[in-house]
Structure 1
Amino acid sequence: MGIICNPIISGMAPDPSILRVGDDYYLATSTFHWLPGIPIYHSRNLADWELLTHVLKGTEVNLRGTHTPAGIWAPHLSYDAQAKKYWLVFCHMKNMAGREFNAESYAMSADDITGPWSDPVYLTSIGFDPSLYHEDGHHYLAILEWETRSGYQAPGTIVMAEVDLRTGKLVDGWHRITNGFTTRGCVEAPQIYKHGAYYYMLAASGGTGYAHGVEMGRAEKIFGPYEPNPTGEPILTSSPRHLFSLGDPDAGHFEMYNPKSLMQKAGHGSLVETPEHEWYIAHLMARPLPGTKLNPLGRETALQKMHWTEDGWLELADGSNVAKMTTEAPCSQPSEPRDAQEDDVYDAFSSGVLSKKFMAPYHQPDLSWVSVQHGHLVLCGRESFFSQNDPSILATRATSFSYQLQTKLDFHPVHYSQTAGGGLYYDSNNWIYAYVGLSDKEDQRVISILQAKLGQRIAFDFDTVRIPDGAVPELRWQYHYGKAQAFYRLDEGAEWQAIADACDVSYLSDEGVNGEPGEIGGFTALFNFIGSVDAYQHDSQAEFFYYQVKSDQANQ
Structure 2
Amino acid sequence: MTLIQNPIIPGMAPDPSIIRVADDYYIATSTFHWTPGVQIFHSTDLVNWELLTYALTQDEVNLRGTNTPAGIWAPHLSYDSQTHKFWLAYSHMQNMAGREFNADSFAISADSIQGPWSAPIYLTSIGFDPALFHDEDGKHYLSILEWETRDGYQAPGHIVIAEVDLEHGGIIGNWHRVTTGFTTRGCAEAPQIYHHNDYYYLLIAAGGTGYAHGIEMGRSRQIFGPYEPNPTGEPIITSSPQHLFSLGDPDAGHFERFDPRAPMQKAGHGSLVQTPTGEWYVAHLMSRPLPNKPLNPLGRETALQKMRWTTDGWLQMADGSNLAKLTTPAPSDYSSPKQTHTADIHTDFTAKVVDHHFMTPYHQQTTDWVNITEHPEHLRIYGQNSLFSQFNPAIMGTRATALTYTSQTALTFHPTHYSQTAGLGLYYDANNWLYVRLCQADTEDRTVLRILQAKLGERIDHRITVDIPDGHVALKIDYHDGWAQVSYQLPQQAEWSVLEAPIDVSYLSDEGVNGEPGEIGGFTGLFNFIGAVDAYQHVSFADFDYYTVKNYETEDLTHE
- Counterparts in 2 of 1:471 and 1:100: CA distance versus 1, 3 Å: closer
Question: Any conservation in 1 of the 2:386–2:535 contact (CA below 8 Å)?
Answer: yes
Report the Cα distance in structure 1 between the residues aligned to 2:435 and 2:214, rounded to whole angstroms. Answer: 36
**Corresponding position of 1:132:** 132
- Counterparts in 2 of 1:265 and 1:235: CA distance versus 1, 3 Å: same
Report the Cα distance in structure 2 between the residues aligned to 1:306 and 1:241, rounded to whole angstroms. Answer: 20
**Corresponding position of 1:494:** 494
CA deviations 1:132-151 (Å, max 9, x no partner) are: 00012100000000000000
Report the Cα distance in structure 1 between the residues aligned to 2:261 and 2:474, rounded to whole angstroms. Answer: 42
Superposed counterparts of 1:475-490, under 5 Å: 475-490=475-490
Runs of 4+ in 1 over 2 A off after TM superposition: 258-261, 334-340, 553-556
Question: Any conservation in 2 of the 1:153–1:246 contact (CA below 8 Å)?
Answer: yes
Question: Any conservation in 2 of the 1:3–1:335 contact (CA below 8 Å)?
Answer: no
Deviation at 1:115, TM superposition (A): 0.5
Q: Secondary structure at the match of 1:98?
A: helix
Question: Any conservation in 2 of the 1:177–1:223 contact (CA below 8 Å)?
Answer: yes
**Corresponding position of 1:395:** 397
Amino acid of the structure 2 residue aligned with 1:137? G
Deviation at 1:492, TM superposition (A): 6.5
**Corresponding position of 1:543:** 543
Deviation at 1:336, TM superposition (A): 3.9
**Corresponding position of 2:52:** 52
Report the Cα distance in structure 1 between the residues aligned to 2:289 and 2:415, rounded to whole angstroms. Answer: 40
- Counterparts in 2 of 1:335 and 1:252: CA distance versus 1, 3 Å: farther
CA deviations 1:288-317 (Å, max 9, x no partner) are: 001101000010000000010000000000
Q: 1:422 aligns with which of 421, 424, 431?
A: 424
Question: Any conservation in 2 of the 1:3–1:336 contact (CA below 8 Å)?
Answer: no
Report the Cα distance in structure 2 between the residues aligned to 1:520 and 1:348, rounded to whole angstroms. Answer: 38
Q: 1:376 aligns with which of 371, 378, 385?
A: 378
**Corresponding position of 1:75:** 75
CA deviations 1:460-481 (Å, max 9, x no partner) are: 02x100112x352111111010
Amino acid of the structure 1 residue aligned with 2:163? E
Report the Cα distance in structure 2 between the residues aligned to 1:197 and 1:63, rounded to whole angstroms. Answer: 42
Report the Cα distance in structure 1 between the residues aligned to 2:81 and 2:56, rounded to whole angstroms. Answer: 23
Deviation at 1:197, TM superposition (A): 1.4
Deviation at 1:352, TM superposition (A): 2.0
CA deviations 1:425-484 (Å, max 9, x no partner) are: 0000000000011101111110000000000000002x100112x352111111010000
**Corresponding position of 1:21:** 21
Gaps of 5+ in 1: none
Report the Cα distance in structure 2 between the residues aligned to 1:553 and 1:536, rounded to whole angstroms. Answer: 41
Report the Cα distance in structure 1 between the residues aligned to 2:261 and 2:457, rounded to whole angstroms. Answer: 35
Q: Secondary structure at the match of 2:98?
A: helix
Superposed counterparts of 1:325-364, under 5 Å: 325-338=326-339, 342-364=342-364
Amino acid of the structure 2 residue aligned with 1:205? A
Question: Any conservation in 1 of the 2:260–2:293 contact (CA below 8 Å)?
Answer: no
Report the Cα distance in structure 1 between the residues aligned to 2:339 and 2:320, rounded to whole angstroms. Answer: 25
CA deviations 1:266-296 (Å, max 9, x no partner) are: 0000000001110000000001001101000
Q: 2:445 aligns with which of 443, 448, 453?
A: 443
- Counterparts in 2 of 1:243 and 1:492: CA distance versus 1, 3 Å: farther
Amino acid of the structure 2 residue aligned with 1:189? A
- Counterparts in 2 of 1:138 and 1:409: CA distance versus 1, 3 Å: same
Q: Secondary structure at the match of 1:116?
A: coil
Amino acid of the structure 1 residue aligned with 2:504? D
**Corresponding position of 1:103:** 103
CA deviations 1:534-553 (Å, max 9, x no partner) are: 11111101100000111124
Q: Secondary structure at the match of 2:405?
A: strand
Report the Cα distance in structure 1 between the residues aligned to 2:93 and 2:170, rounded to whole angstroms. Answer: 20
Report the Cα distance in structure 2 between the residues aligned to 1:290 and 1:255, rounded to whole angstroms. Answer: 16
- Counterparts in 2 of 1:111 and 1:339: CA distance versus 1, 3 Å: closer
Report the Cα distance in structure 1 between the residues aligned to 2:77 and 2:492, rounded to whole angstroms. Answer: 47
How many residue pairs match? The answer is 553
**Corresponding position of 1:268:** 269
**Corresponding position of 1:216:** 217
CA deviations 1:200-241 (Å, max 9, x no partner) are: 000000001000000000000110100000000000000000
Report the Cα distance in structure 2 between the residues aligned to 1:471 and 1:99, rounded to whole angstroms. Answer: 48
Report the Cα distance in structure 2 between the residues aligned to 1:164 and 1:339, rounded to whole angstroms. Answer: 42
Deviation at 1:497, TM superposition (A): 0.6
| Identity value in percent | 65
Deviation at 1:4, TM superposition (A): 0.4
Amino acid of the structure 2 residue aligned with 1:485? Q
Deviation at 1:493, TM superposition (A): 5.8
Superposed counterparts of 1:139-538, under 5 Å: 139-338=140-339, 342-373=342-373, 374-461=376-463, 463-468=464-469, 470=470, 472-491=472-491, 494-538=494-538
Q: Secondary structure at the match of 1:204?
A: strand
Report the Cα distance in structure 1 between the residues aligned to 2:6 and 2:339, rounded to whole angstroms. Answer: 8
Report the Cα distance in structure 2 between the residues aligned to 1:197 and 1:274, rounded to whole angstroms. Answer: 20
Report the Cα distance in structure 2 between the residues aligned to 1:334 and 1:211, rounded to whole angstroms. Answer: 36
Report the Cα distance in structure 2 between the residues aligned to 1:555 and 1:483, rounded to whole angstroms. Answer: 17
Amino acid of the structure 1 residue aligned with 2:45? N
Q: Secondary structure at the match of 2:372?
A: strand
Q: TM-score, normalised by structure 1?
A: 0.98
Report the Cα distance in structure 1 between the residues aligned to 2:221 and 2:551, rounded to whole angstroms. Answer: 50
Question: Any conservation in 2 of the 1:471–1:490 contact (CA below 8 Å)?
Answer: no
Deviation at 1:485, TM superposition (A): 1.2
C-alpha root-mean-square deviation of aligned residues, in Å?
1.1
Question: Any conservation in 1 of the 2:48–2:340 contact (CA below 8 Å)?
Answer: no
Deviation at 1:258, TM superposition (A): 3.0
**Corresponding position of 1:86:** 86
Q: Secondary structure at the match of 1:174?
A: strand
Report the Cα distance in structure 1 between the residues aligned to 2:152 and 2:23, rounded to whole angstroms. Answer: 49
Report the Cα distance in structure 1 between the residues aligned to 2:5 and 2:99, rounded to whole angstroms. Answer: 37
Report the Cα distance in structure 2 between the residues aligned to 1:506 and 1:263, rounded to whole angstroms. Answer: 18
Report the Cα distance in structure 1 between the residues aligned to 2:336 and 2:455, rounded to whole angstroms. Answer: 42
Question: Any conservation in 2 of the 1:87–1:107 contact (CA below 8 Å)?
Answer: yes
Report the Cα distance in structure 1 between the residues aligned to 2:174 and 2:109, rounded to whole angstroms. Answer: 23
Report the Cα distance in structure 2 between the residues aligned to 1:535 and 1:31, rounded to whole angstroms. Answer: 27
